[in-house]
Structure 1
Amino acid sequence: SVNRDLKKEIKEAEKMLTQIDMTRIPAYELGMEKGREEGKAALLTRQLSLKFGSLPQAVDQRIKGAHANELATWGEKVLTAKSLDEVFL
């Protein structure tokens, strides 16, 4: 019947949609990168707060505006820094 054929086509279309490689979609890749940066920023903020106490708003804004490579560098420096300023030198 027509209804059965239509259901079969819908199932085939659904199967095709689930097989799309999302990592090949530029917007998806951009979203994933942004998510990773936000995670690194949140971790760095937590580490700095635990080590040095409440963070000035300027530091918080600097972290939120930073790129992944800056966040990684600061994340390493927080391990040995004696002051908040040393992290950002």
Structure 2
Amino acid sequence: MIVRIMGEGQWKLADSHVAELNTLDDDLLEEMESGDDAGFHRTLGALLDAVRRLGAPLPDDALEPSELILPAPDASLEEVREMLSDDGLIPG
């Protein structure tokens, strides 16, 4: 799976990591629904860190289709709300 972090680049992750990312995505959705801005930023950071830790960065000149597009680390809660569908950032 190819994951893009807006403003940073792309990472290739094994499909076996989707469950871990989904757990963080579920937490992120709960924090968004409750308006927990501090929790939202903490979990967004953890989600992005997991992608960086578990994935292999693609070269800057690689243009692979991204299966997931995640917001930049400095994205606001409201900006991410606009990105979300009912399924969250990571399709189940």
User: Could you say whether these structures have the same fold, taking a TM-score greater than 0.5 normalized by the shorter chain as the test?
Assistant: no
Q: Which structure is higher in RCO with an 8 Å CA cutoff and minimum separation 6?
A: 2
More helix by share: 1
Larger radius of gyration, structure 1 or 2? 1
More strand by share: 2
